[in-house]
Amino acid sequence: MAIIKHIAIHRSPLKLIRYILKVNKTDEMKLATGLNCSTAPESAYEEMGNTFERFAKERFSKKSQNADVGGKEKIRLHHYIQSFKPNEITPEQAHRIGVEWAEKVFGRDRQVLITTHIDRQHIHNHFAVAAYDLNGKRWYDNKSTLGRCRDISDKICKNHGLSIIENKEYHSNQKYSDWLARQQNVSWKTRLCDDIDKLVLQEDIRSVADLAEQLRQKGYIVTLKKYMSIKTPWSKKSVRSLRLGDGYGIEELQYRIDNKNREMSIAAVMKYEGVQREYALCLRELQIMVYRKPDNSYRATYGELRRNAELLTYLCDNKIQSVNDFENVVNNAKDKSDRIKKSRDELLRKIEEKENILNNGTRYLELNKIKTPTYVQFEELAKLNYLAKYNLRSEADIKAHGQELERLRYELSEIDKSLDIAEKEKAEAAGNYKTYLRQMQSDYDFILERQRREQEEIKQAEQDLLLEQRALQELKQQARTNQAYYR
């Protein structure tokens, strides 16, 4: 089993290279490999630095000028760590896996320094990865690439007969090491989460303050201010509740307390129409999974419930009844943003025009008053002749254009505000649309299929009941006919 972690190195790349190549950590450098680079610290630093400076157009060793003026500092190196379960692997096998992982993830055209450290109980690999490959292709660290890195690591470990973590449920607001410890049931935080989960469902717990008091009675040391911090008498450090994972921040805990054992009713779901009803049905199923936990194989979380409720509200607020409606909302938001951008561009053109008049108008008037201009003056006047169309006669005319410029600048400030709002609306619409499509076409397909089966079963049951009622009516009618005949 291996854990993959990423750290972006914006400064001091030499410090990282020297650290991962320490002789006492790498078995006298026997466990060090360079892909397209040397394993000597200074040489590797120089080689990676040359590649970076060639394509990034910045110095590798020192902070860039962009960072001095508030710009974003470029990543010098990507530092990946691959940690293995104690007593499951040998140093040599770990190093072979590290080299195989680096080649599959980063290809053959990138400088990667791979070392295996054996100075701790758990053997772990370090990777110093060049930000640009030898062809200038940049490496981007994001959730997608990190997920791919972990998937490839799992496949390699499995091929080498090592264990892997199944049913991952890791969240970015939770330390990866804490999450792993909880999966292995070796963390006191597991017990804390279990205690919180039990207390939340008690009828006498009506607020986070009640929850904090009950935790104190169980022996926890609780501080409740902007955050809720919790520690046990035997632990050295406290932990903020939100670091325990989704559903443990103060707002989320209060939401859980207010909605304990409560899911949206079918009657409430049926008030919606079209895609709103479909989405509401999915939300109800997720609520049942989270609150009652009869079958949470999907691993639904409290944070997901909150986000889904917000998306359902968005569907209602924008009167979205179908996928076409959703597409129209997205397109309208984009069109609105484009219209404002076009108006802003036209406004900027007018402002530039007025600024030219203010900057050159006085000189233009002076040159026009010269009866016999020199060749240089004549050339200068020719360059300013575009101002003739504004019929400038005096400084008063220029001043009037200055007043117009002030009005245009105020208008620009207002249109910038409108554009900012429109851009946020466009991003929100596009983001919600992508989320909706992903969930309804992939993530929630099992819920939708279950709902379709349930709806078909309900429809079939209603039809069967109707047939039984008709059959019963026919029997009653036959009985009445027979009674009349024997009379």
Give tens-digit pLDDT for 124-133.
999 999 999 9
Pseudo-torsion of CA 156, 162, 165, 170, nearest 10°?
-60
Looking at per-residue confidence, does 165 or 135 come out higher? 135
Distance CA 79, CA 129 (A): 6
In this predicted model, what pLDDT tens digit does every residue of 365-375 receive, in sequence order?
Answer: 999 999 898 99
Mean pLDDT on 460-487:
77
User: For tokens 């909880």, what's the residue?
Assistant: 182
In a domain, 278, yes or no: yes
Are 328 and 418 members of one domain?
Answer: yes
Tell whether 461 is covered by a domain: yes
Whether this prediction's pTM lies above 0.75 is answered by: no
| 266 token code pair | 């079918």
For residue 69, is pLDDT > 50? Answer: no
How crowded is residue 32: how many other Cβ atoms within 10 Å of its Cβ?
Answer: 22
Using CA atoms, how far residue 184 sits from 116, 165, 174, 178, 179, in Å, is 24, 10, 15, 10, 9
Residues 271 and 364 in one domain: no
Residues in Cβ contact with 208 at an 8 Å cutoff, skipping those fewer than 6 apart: 224, 228, 250, 253, 254, 257
Give the pLDDT confidence of 27-38 residue by residue, as tens digits: 777 889 999 999
Q: Does the residue 387 lie in any domain?
A: yes
Contact 176, 20 (CB under 8 A): no
Residue 425: band (very low, low, confident or very high) from pLDDT cuts 50, 70, 90: very high
Alpha-carbon distance 50 to 56, whole Å? Answer: 10
Query: Worst-scoring range by mean pLDDT, 35-39, 180-184, 197-201, 244-248?
Result: 180-184
Tokens 């691959």, residue located = 82
Report in angstroms the alpha-carbon separations of 99 from 31, 115, 117, 127: 10, 9, 14, 9
Q: Under 8 Å CB-to-CB from 17, ≥6 apart: which residues?
A: 41, 44, 45, 48, 77, 113, 128
CATH code (residue 60): 3.30.930.30
* Cβ atoms of residues 201 and 262 within 8 Å: no
SS3 229: strand
Q: What is the dihedral of CA 55, 60, 65, 66, to 10 degrees?
A: 60
Could you say which of 159, 191, 218 is where a domain stops? 159
| Alpha carbon of residue 482 to chain centroid | 75
- One domain for residues 218 and 249: yes
CA trace torsion 304, 309, 311, 315 (10° rounding): 160
| 456 vs 486 pLDDT, higher one | 456
Which of 232, 258, 284 is at the close of a domain? Answer: 258
Let me know if residue 164 belongs to a domain.
no
Q: At residue 123, what are phi and psi to the nearest 5 degrees? A: -70, 140
Where does the pLDDT of residue 192 fall: very low under 50, low under 70, confident under 90, or very high at 90 and above? Answer: confident
Contacts of 221 (CB under 8 A, 6+ apart): 230, 231, 232, 233, 238
DSSP code of 138?
A: B
Tens-digit pLDDT profile for residues 75-133 = 999 999 998 887 788 999 999 999 999 999 999 899 999 999 987 777 899 999 999 99
Q: Which residues contact 337 (CB under 8 A, 6 or more apart)?
A: 419, 422, 423, 425, 426
What mean pLDDT value characterizes the chain? Answer: 83
Question: Distance between CA 424 and CA 441 in Å, rounded?
Answer: 25
With respect to residue 208, please indicate whether it lies within any of the assigned structural domains: yes
Beta bridge partners of 222: 230
Both 149 and 44 in one domain: the answer is yes
CA distance 113 to 74: 20
On whether both 151 and 12 belong to a single domain, the answer is yes
Give CA separation, 28 vs 19, 32, 117, 290, 390, in Å.
14, 9, 11, 52, 80
Which residue among 208, 232, 258 closes a domain?
A: 258
Q: How confident is the model at residue 279 (pLDDT cuts 50, 70, 90)?
A: confident
Is the per-residue pLDDT at 295 higher than 80? no
Q: At 195, list the tokens.
A: 């205690």
128 three-class SS:
strand
Pair of tokens at residue 100 = 């195989």
Report the alpha-carbon distance of residue 138 to residue 120 in Å, rounded.
33
- The percentage of the chain sitting over the pLDDT mark of 70, rounded to a whole number, equals 84
Residues 29 and 153 in one domain: yes
Q: Which two tokens stand for residue 173?
A: 């607001």
Q: How far is CA 52 from the centre of its chain?
A: 28
Residues 405-420: what's their mean pLDDT?
Answer: 93
6 lies in the same domain as 155: yes
Distance CA 305, CA 163 (A): 32
Q: Which domain holds residue 280?
A: 266-317
The distance of Cα 356 from the centroid of its chain, to the nearest Å, equals: 45
Report if residue 167 sits inside a domain: no
Domain-located, residue 170: no
In this structure, are 57 and 181 located in the same domain? no
| Total domains, the chain | 5
For residues 52 and 203, the model is more confident at 52
The tokens describing 484, both together, are 């009349």
CB of 228 closer than 8 Å to CB of 212: yes
- CB-based contact 381:367 (threshold 8 Å): yes
Torsion of CA 331, 333, 337, 342, to 10 degrees: 50
The values of phi and psi at residue 81, to 5°, are -125, 130
Residue 472, pLDDT score:
83
Residue (of 88, 106, 140) closest to 37 by Cα position: 106
For residue 80, the SS3 value is strand
Together in a domain, 331 and 396: yes
Q: 176-179: long-range contacts (C-beta < 8 A, 24 or more apart)? A: 176/3, 176/5, 177/3, 178/243, 179/245
Whether residues 70 and 186 fall in one domain: no
The verdict on 425 and 390 lying in the same domain is yes
- pLDDT for 437: 81
User: Residue 168 domain-assigned?
Assistant: no
Predicted pLDDT of residue 348: 94
Average pLDDT over residues 69-77: 69
Instruction: Note whether 152 and 182 are same-domain residues.
Output: no
Confidence of residue 310 (pLDDT cuts 50, 70, 90): confident
Encoding tokens for residue 269?
């779901």
